[in-house]
Amino acid sequence: MEGIAIMTSGGDAAGMNPAVKFCVEYAKKRGLKPFLIRNGLRGLIDDDIKVAERSDVSGILHRGGTVLRSSRSKRFFEDKYRLQAYENLQKHGINKLIVIGGDGSFTALNRFYNEYKVPFAGIPATIDNDIPGTDYCLGVDTALNVIRESIDSIRDTALSFSRAFVIETMGRNCGYLAMTSALSSGAEICIAPELDHDLDSIGERLKKDVEGGRDYIMAVVAEGSNMAGELTHWIKDNLNMDARLTVLGHVQRGGSPTVRDRVMAYNYAVQAVESLLAGNTNQIMTFRDGSYGTAPIDIINTKCIVDPNIVELASHLAV
């Protein structure tokens, strides 16, 4: 039987475990022998590789994070360690890879492919939703629901004490989480890299609201804007309101995968296996305009563009 290995790499995201489970099960269905690589690129180098048994993927569908664990490995970018990784795969009879991760993981595996011709399929999994070529990455919906629940809880305190709260979301340089969360939570302010903000205009708008009886303010800020601290002080100084900053941080990566993330994981898993069986060598699985497909690895070198409709809908919160 032809060997195919599944690994998770880079930052963890809810949806990785369902993807691992579905990749193993579908690979078996298609007559392949699935293997699991633990600890990401480090496990590839250290031969932390084993045949996937039913017990390895049983009961993991509902779990957040990645049961295979993950790592970032500087060693993988040294020639001798990539050779070691290749020899490990050869020893196990593995000639196909599925990597569940983000752009850094795909770049590393593409370099590996260029040297040793081990084909791979990439399943996008990052809460930042910043992989070019696809509208959706695993973990995003779960992260949005965690953020939504956090903002709803913070609003209770904001209302109780007549305060302003600034909530910083993850996303690196992509403002998808911030803008979508601001829209779904009814925030009064949103600052994101994709939005041209005007604090003077925001101030004039909110002063009228406060004079009209508004006694709390919710602001959502993308980490890539580097504006969370500045906005908190600005609210205190310009709106004469007690303002607090809440950085949600890594809580956004956790949680049981939502229905959407589980279904997306299944579809991506089927795509990945079928892509490799079709002879593709280094494709990223995509979901674009409601349809599943693949994109060449070169797509990760292009700029990720957030859905213009979301940017337009959120633009009024930045002025």
Distance of CA 47 to the CA centre of its chain: 27
Q: What's 250-285 look like in SS3?
A: HHHHCCCCCHHHHHHHHHHHHHHHHHHHCCCCEEEE
The whole-angstrom separation of Cα 80 and Cα 19 is 30
The whole-angstrom separation of Cα 156 and Cα 170 is 22
What's the Cα-to-Cα distance from 28 to each of 23, 128, 299, rounded to whole Å? 9, 31, 30
> In 162-248, which residue ranges form alpha helices assigned H by DSSP?
176-185, 199-211, 228-239
Cβ atoms of 71 and 53 closer than 8 Å: no
Q: Which residues, 6 or more positions from 90, have their beta carbon under 8 angstroms from its beta carbon?
A: none
Q: Where are the beta strands (DSSP E) in the chain?
A: 3-8, 33-37, 49-51, 94-101, 120-124, 164-169, 189-191, 217-222, 243-247, 282-288, 291-296
The whole-angstrom separation of Cα 245 and Cα 264 is 33
The whole-angstrom separation of Cα 267 and Cα 276 is 15
Active site residues per annotation: 128
The whole-angstrom separation of Cα 65 and Cα 63 is 7
